[in-house]
């Protein structure tokens, strides 16, 4: 798989969308789905669970799994219900039929199909462990994403991208403000023209401008070490070593306009001791980052996340 130029890859990424009958990434809304996920939230009130389950039964659906949560402080109810739909029904039809129940209870809701394999771009810089892990899990069928592009401001990721047969786009950054702005414009254009449903920042070390982030609300996932804000900037594991920390961690979150402050999807920590040098902290940190990022992406593609302001409800 050769490296693609900016213009070539935009044309390549559009081709599958045209083959899908003009609907592009919305093709998953058609009836070739094994199950449907209904995500909803509303002010908590009596009768929601009964109303939703009764409606599913009335259309001939069969509930596979149902989970709910009530935020007592804010009085908000959340629910995720997966069910097998009646034959010949697509998501648009379900949404129309559900409108009466939604209006009765004041529901914010979304129907999603499973299996779901979103068209995905992965952004990466020089640290390749998260990219390598995502491509490996996808290749083995352990992670349901359709990687369309690997984009980087460095050339280091070209080899691993080629090994997995993924198009690689090198968008280097110059030293001047004008060159940086040009690179950001190219990136924004590439993402918007590729019929993508998900963007993953797999240790992409450049700050994205708000004009890019705003287009990918709840569809762009980032991974970073959990030391922020305690250890800001370069070499966090060196800073952690110098402070003698006993825990290191990683956080995956949706990207928001406020850097590293978006809704958190997944976190984890591992204990360390004074015996762990900087090299060992980096190794253990890399291991943790790959697992946390994969868990966050899996929760997203399985439609297990509801966003509430700057928080998330993540169903198991």
Q: Which string of DSSP letters, residue by residue, matches 75-134? A: TEEEEEEEEEPPTT--HHHHHHHHHHHHHHHT-EEEEEEES---EEEEEE-S--HHHHHH
pLDDT in tens, 194-218: 999 999 999 999 999 998 999 999 9
| Distance (Å, whole) CA 85 – CA 59 | 8
The answer on pLDDT for 169 being more than 90 is: yes
Token pair 């790959």 in the structure block, residue? 290
Q: Indicate the DSSP class of residue 176.
A: S
3-class DSSP assignment, residue 224: strand
pLDDT score, position 232: 74
When pLDDT is averaged across residues 226-230 and rounded to a whole number, the result is 69
When pLDDT is averaged across residues 120-143 and rounded to a whole number, the result is 98
Q: Taking Cα atoms as reference points, which of 238, 274, 268 lies closest to residue 251?
A: 268
Assess contact for 161 and 239: CB atoms under 8 A.
no
| Distance (Å, whole) CA 184 – CA 189 | 9
CA atoms within 13 A on the CB side of 2: 6
pLDDT score, position 175: 87
pLDDT in tens, 286-299: 999 999 999 999 99
β-strands 264-271, 247-254 pairing: antiparallel
Q: The whole model's pTM is what?
A: 0.88
Catalytic residue among 44, 71, 260, 268: 260
Between 26 and 125, whose confidence is greater? 125
What class is the 6-17+117-314 domain?
A: alpha beta
Alpha helix (H) residue ranges in the chain: 6-19, 48-58, 91-105, 129-140, 158-163, 177-192, 210-213, 236-243, 278-301
The answer on pLDDT for 20 being more than 60 is: no
| Distance (Å, whole) CA 88 – CA 57 | 16
Residues ≥6 apart with Cβ < 8 Å to 228: 251, 260
The torsion angles phi and psi of 153, rounded to 5 degrees, stand at -85, 0
pLDDT in tens, 75-101: 999 999 999 998 888 999 999 999 999
| Residue 260 is among the residues annotated as catalytic for this protein | yes
Q: Looking at the DSSP assignment, which residues form a beta bridge with residue 249?
A: 269
Assess contact for 180 and 173: CB atoms under 8 A.
yes
Q: Domain 34-114, what architecture? A: 2-Layer Sandwich (3.30)
Neighbours of 106 (CB within 10 A): 11
Domain boundaries defined on the chain: 6-17+117-314, 34-114
């Amino acid at each position: 798989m050769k490296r693609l130029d900016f213009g070539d890859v935009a044309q390549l990424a559009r081709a599958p969308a045209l083959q899908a009958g003009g609907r592009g990434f919305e093709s998953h809304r058609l009836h070739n789905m094994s199950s449907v996920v209904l995500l909803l939230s509303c002010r908590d009130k009596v009768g929601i669970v009964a109303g939703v389950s009764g409606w599913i039964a009335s259309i001939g659906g069969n509930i596979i799994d149902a989970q709910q949560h009530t935020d007592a402080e804010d009085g908000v109810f959340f629910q995720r219900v997966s069910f097998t739909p009646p034959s010949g029904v697509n998501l648009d039809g379900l949404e129309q039929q559900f409108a009466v129940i939604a209006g009765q209870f004041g529901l914010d809701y979304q129907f999603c199909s499973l299996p779901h394999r979103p068209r995905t771009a992965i952004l990466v810089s020089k640290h390749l462990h998260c990219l390598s892990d995502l491509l490996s899990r996808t290749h083995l069928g352990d992670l349901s994403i359709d990687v369309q592009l690997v984009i980087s401001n460095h050339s280091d990721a070209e080899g691993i991208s080629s090994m997995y047969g993924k198009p690689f786009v090198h968008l280097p950054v110059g030293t001047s403000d004008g060159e940086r702005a040009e690179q950001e414009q190219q990136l924004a254009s590439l993402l918007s023209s590729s019929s993508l449903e998900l963007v993953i920042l797999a240790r992409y070390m450049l700050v994205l401008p708000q004009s890019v982030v705003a287009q990918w609300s709840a569809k762009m996932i980032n991974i970073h070490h959990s030391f922020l804000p305690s250890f800001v900037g370069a070499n966090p594991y060196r800073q952690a070593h110098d402070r003698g920390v006993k825990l290191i961690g990683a956080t995956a979150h949706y990207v928001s306009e406020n850097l590293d402050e978006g809704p958190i999807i997944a976190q984890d920590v591992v204990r360390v001791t004074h015996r762990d040098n900087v090299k060992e902290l980096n190794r253990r940190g890399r291991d943790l980052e790959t697992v946390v990022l994969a868990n966050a992406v899996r929760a997203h593609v399985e439609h297990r996340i509801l966003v509430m302001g700057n928080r998330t409800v993540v169903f198991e």
